[in-house]
Structure 1
Amino acid sequence: MHCKNSGQLGEDLVAQWLQSTGWIILHRRFSSRWGEIDIIAQHDGGTGKEQGSKREYPTPHSPLPTPHSLLAFVEVKTRSSGSWDAGGRSAITPQKQAKIWRTAGIFLAQYPEKADYSCRFDVAIVYCQRISKNLSGVTANQEALATSSVAEYKFKLQEYILAAFDSLTDNG
């Protein structure tokens, strides 16, 4: 991928999308000696769980924490088409998951007022593609959750996987 800072631009897109769905961004690129978490977000009052086949996204947050307060530790994978690692999914190895778990523990130790919140580990898949000036034909494409363009590149939040570590562990 030739886009400079593509990882940061992908994280920007995900953070903006989370905020638009009622989340508060607490930290970006929170790091410890164990590793880094791209985004740590908080939502108060919603479950963020799926009901049936339709996703229930959080509603705007309430000012005070509620019994349903939730922290999401979000790993963002920004890739160009044809990436070798299944769009970033394969890069979330058990070792990477363990680093994120440990870093989340450091975060909770530094912010003990958040220790009673429900926590989950999500993964956002962002595709980056160069915008061609000579577009010809029609290409079929899955609808994105959010998009942004920077210079000659387009970023698409293609997939947001809730509680991804469980599903990656179960399927991997």
Structure 2
Amino acid sequence: MASPPSVSLTSVTVGDGGEGHECRGALGRYGEDLAARKLRAVGMAVLERNWRCADGEVDIIARDRDALVICEVKTRRAGGYEHPMAAVTPAKAARLRRLASRWLSERWLARYGHPPAGGVRIDLVGVLLPGRGAPVLEHAKGVA
């Protein structure tokens, strides 16, 4: 009788209470990569990704012609979770506005000395990953 095939595991995380964190992080990074690619495909320039400060993080900062765009990316698997486009609550919108103001003053104004001619816009890219098939991306402009 032939012996069963061997299985090799390179790493296992057990019982640290954060098992889902790495998976969610990878899922989020994947969604952000797809979103950045989509924004570039429609002619936007991605200026920075995952900008962090004491107040939080901005997923993507881009330029759409003469407007500065602060972009929140929400990625969800199809199934038991809310649709990604429902993820921006009033509290999150207020936080995004604060982060946009901070990025504008710390990065943009420090470099250019004046606000962008087209103003600042907050967008949302929702990424839905179905069980089968290609990811579905929705880009909503000016959500907050």
The one-letter amino acid of 1:127's match is L
CA distance in structure 1 between the partners assigned to 2:142 and 2:55 by the alignment: 21
Report how far residue 98 of structure 1 moved.
Answer: 1.3
CA RMSD of aligned residues (A): 2.2
Normalised by the length of structure 2, the TM-score is 0.72
Displacement of 1:129:
3.1
What corresponds to 1:80 in structure 2?
Answer: 77
Distance 1:20 1:103, change over 3 A: same
Match of 2:47 among 26, 30, 34: 26
Distance 1:20 1:89 in 2: 20
Given that 2:68 and 2:121 are in contact with CA atoms closer than 8 Å, whether structure 1 keeps it comes out as yes
Residue identity opposite 1:71 in structure 2: L
CA contact 2:68–2:116 (8 Å) conserved in 1: no
- In 1, Cα distance between the equivalents of 2:121 and 2:80? 26
1:73, distance to aligned residue in structure 2 (A): 0.8
The count of residues paired between Structure 1 and Structure 2 equals 118
**Secondary structure of the corresponding residue to residue 164 of structure 1:** coil
Matched, 1:12 2:33: yes
Match of 1:89 in 2: 85
1:40: Cα distance to partner? 0.7
Unaligned runs of 5+ in 2: 1-19
Q: Note if 1:100 corresponds to 2:96.
A: yes
Greater helix content:
2
Q: Report if the CA contact (8 A) 1:130-1:154 is conserved.
A: no
Which consecutive residues of structure 1, in runs of 5 or more, have no partner in the other structure?
45-68, 132-152, 166-172
